[in-house]
Structure 1
Amino acid sequence: MRLIGMRTPGDTTTYIGRLDGDDHVLPVTDVATFWSDTESWIAKATELTDGRRRLDSVEQRPAVPDSARVICIGLNYKAHAAEGSFQVPQFPTLFGRWTSSLTVSGTSAPVPAGEAGLDWEGEVAAYVGASLCETDPDTARAAVLGYSTFNDLTARKAQKLTAQWTLGKNGDRSGPMGPIVTVDEVGDLRDGLGVRTRVNGTLVQDGNTRDMIFDIGHVLALISETFTLNPGDVIATGTPEGVGYVRNPPWLLQPGDVVEVEIDRLGILTTPIVDAAARRGDY
Structure 2
Amino acid sequence: MKLVRYRFKYPYAQSRMGIIEGDRVLDISELQQELIAQGVLDAATYLIPSDPQVFYQQAQFHIEETEKLLMHRNAASLPMHKRADVILESPVPNPSKIICTGINYADHVKEMGSDIPSYPVLFSKFNNAIIGPEDDIHHPQTTKKLDYEVELVVVIGKKASHVKKEDALTYVAGYTIANDVSARDLQKRTPQWLQGKSLDHTTPIGPWLVTRSELSDPSNLAITSYVNKEVRQSSNTKHLIFDIEYLISFISSLMTLEPGDIIFTGTPDGVGLAMSPPQFLQAGDTVTLEIEKVGTLTNRVIDQ
Amino acid at match of 1:124: L
The one of 152, 163, 184 aligned to 2:213: 184
Separation of aligned partners in 1, 2:6 and 2:107? 37
Contact 1:119 1:243 in 2 (8 A): yes
2:102 aligns to what?
74
| Structure 2: gaps spanning 5 or more residues | 30-49
Q: Which moved more, 1:26-35 or 1:239-248?
A: 26-35
Name the SS of the counterpart of 1:89 in structure 2.
Answer: coil
Cα offset, 1:11, TM superposition: 4.2
Question: TM-score normalized by structure 2?
Answer: 0.86
Separation of aligned partners in 2, 1:86 and 1:4? 37
Contact 2:156 2:258 in 1 (8 A): yes
Alignment of 1:215-234 (within 5 A): 215-234=243-262
Amino acid at match of 1:15: R
Per-residue CA deviation, residues 153-205 of structure 1 (Å, 9 max, x unaligned), is: 11111111111111111122211111101122223222x10001011111010
Per-residue CA deviation, residues 58-111 of structure 1 (Å, 9 max, x unaligned), is: 232212232421111000000000101000000000111112211122311121
The one of 65, 84, 93 aligned to 2:112: 84
Contact 2:128 2:199 in 1 (8 A): no
Separation of aligned partners in 2, 1:143 and 1:120? 29
2:26 aligns to what?
25
Cα offset, 1:249, TM superposition: 0.8
Contact 2:60 2:173 in 1 (8 A): no
Amino acid at match of 2:299: T
1:67/1:151 Cα in 2 relative to 1: closer, same or farther (>3 Å)? closer
Separation of aligned partners in 2, 1:197 and 1:12? 32
Contact 1:18 1:45 in 2 (8 A): no
Separation of aligned partners in 2, 1:44 and 1:19? 17
Name the SS of the counterpart of 1:242 in structure 2.
Answer: coil
Separation of aligned partners in 1, 2:177 and 2:134? 13
Cα offset, 1:12, TM superposition: 5.4
Separation of aligned partners in 1, 2:142 and 2:58? 44
Separation of aligned partners in 2, 1:110 and 1:117? 13
Q: Which moved more, 1:170-179 or 1:49-58?
A: 49-58
Q: Matched residues, percent identical? A: 33
Name the SS of the counterpart of 1:180 in structure 2.
Answer: strand
The one of 14, 31, 34 aligned to 2:55: 34
Per-residue CA deviation, residues 124-157 of structure 1 (Å, 9 max, x unaligned), is: 0110001001121122222111111111011111
Amino acid at match of 2:15: T
Separation of aligned partners in 1, 2:262 and 2:289? 18
The answer to whether the aligner puts 1:209 opposite 2:230 as a matched pair is no
Alignment of 1:188-267 (within 5 A): 188-190=217-219, 192-267=220-295
Q: Aligned pairs, how many?
A: 275
| Structure 1: gaps spanning 5 or more residues | 277-283
Separation of aligned partners in 2, 1:251 and 1:242? 10
Q: Which moved more, 1:131-140 or 1:249-258?
A: 131-140
1:280 aligns to what?
none
Cα offset, 1:10, TM superposition: 4.2
Contact 1:6 1:59 in 2 (8 A): yes
Q: Which moved more, 1:216-225 or 1:19-28?
A: 19-28
Separation of aligned partners in 2, 1:96 and 1:134? 20
